[in-house]
């Protein structure tokens, strides 16, 4: 089972990713080591602010792309619960 996750950085930017193990992946990012995404380096402390089960990797990857294309305001609505993944329809 694949998951979509969103992390808030110390500069309030939002990072979106996919993984099969959210806790492990977040810890890799938070550890700031070689497995940390380059975007997140030096932007700690990090906070995991959104997770959702997606299904297969192909579905997760497509959804990740659509979420990454959202405006920050729309991502904030998703994180805040005012918007759902079903509302994400950016092509």
Query: What is the pLDDT averaged over residues 24-45?
Result: 94
DSSP 3-43: EEEEEE-TTS-EEEEEES-HHHHHHHHHTTSTTS-GGGTT-
pLDDT > 90? residue 3: yes
Query: Could you tell me the pTM of the whole model?
Result: 0.93
Going by pLDDT thresholds of 50, 70 and 90, the confidence category of residue 89 is: low
Name the DSSP letter for residue 57: H
């Amino acid at each position: 089972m694949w998951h979509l996750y969103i992390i808030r950085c110390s500069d309030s930017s939002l990072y979106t990713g996919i993984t099969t193990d959210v806790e492990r992946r977040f810890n890799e990012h938070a550890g700031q080591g070689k497995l940390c995404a380059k975007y997140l380096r030096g932007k700690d402390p990090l906070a995991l602010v959104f997770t959702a089960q997606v299904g297969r990797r192909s579905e997760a990857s497509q959804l990740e792309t659509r979420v990454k294309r959202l405006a920050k305001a729309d991502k904030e609505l998703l994180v805040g619960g005012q918007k759902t993944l079903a509302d994400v329809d950016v092509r």
